[in-house]
Amino acid sequence: MSEQPQTEQAPGKPAAPDPVEVRDAVTRQAVLGALLDEVKSAYKDAKKTADDLLDKSHKAGGTTQVDALLPDGTKVGSSSRSGGEREAQVVDAEAFRGWVRDNYPTEHVVEFVPAQVLTSVRPGFAGKVLAEATAAGTSQFVDGTSGVVHDVPGVELRPSRAASHRLTYTRGSKAQPTSGRDLVAAAWRAGVLVEFLPALAPAPTAPPAAAEAEQGAEQ
């Protein structure tokens, strides 16, 4: 009986993994990647639609929170509105610089360079004025020494961050130990959420009686 030849492992060289295991791992990545692309695309469209409707609801009635419910009425999460922010910004640099020159000359910088003269406001002072105007909610600056209230030219309060909506899922509790994410997953497995992602929904299976009737008709 002849012996089967054995492949010797080169010293120091790692053993190659099972080719079937490698192929299965790559296949799993490919399948999940394709499914992920489908979900991400559908989620992007769903978020845009929800955000547009939430903005309209807020403008019409001041709505700031809406619950997410499964078809049976179970709450799985909610979308809450986060208001935008406004901050003071220099919108007319020349007007702002002229005000600083006339009222706070030590904060007004004049630089002489060959063939030109450069003027500017010290960044620290500009930041102080804008920060105070932002906190006050108006383009005014109060002189800490004299108490004079200045209407600062060239400065306006403008949106710095748009309003947004944040979706959060419910957490497990004594009344409902299952979290919102798990409730959604269970509902998907049960086949009651097919309408939300029909491209990934499994084909409906015919009841046993119906399947037997179809087979009998084919014979």
- pLDDT tops 90 at residue 1: no
- pLDDT tops 80 at residue 216: no
Q: Which among 178, 82, 96, 80 is positioned nearest to 130, based on CA atoms?
A: 96
Structure tokens given for 35: 């499914």
Asked if residue 172 lies in contact with residue 77, where contact means CB atoms within 8 angstroms, the answer is no
- pLDDT tops 60 at residue 6: no
Q: Which among 211, 198, 216 is positioned nearest to 42, based on CA atoms?
A: 198
Region 60-72: what's the mean pLDDT? 93
Averaged confidence pLDDT in the chain: 86
Select the more confidently predicted residue: 145 or 201. 145
Q: How confident is the model at residue 114 (pLDDT cuts 50, 70, 90)?
A: confident
Q: Which among 214, 195, 198, 194 is positioned nearest to 206, based on CA atoms?
A: 214
Q: How confident is the model at residue 11 (pLDDT cuts 50, 70, 90)?
A: low
Q: Which among 141, 139, 132, 143 is positioned nearest to 155, based on CA atoms?
A: 139
Q: What is the pTM of this model?
A: 0.57
Q: Residue 212: what pLDDT?
A: 56
Q: Residue 56: what pLDDT?
A: 92
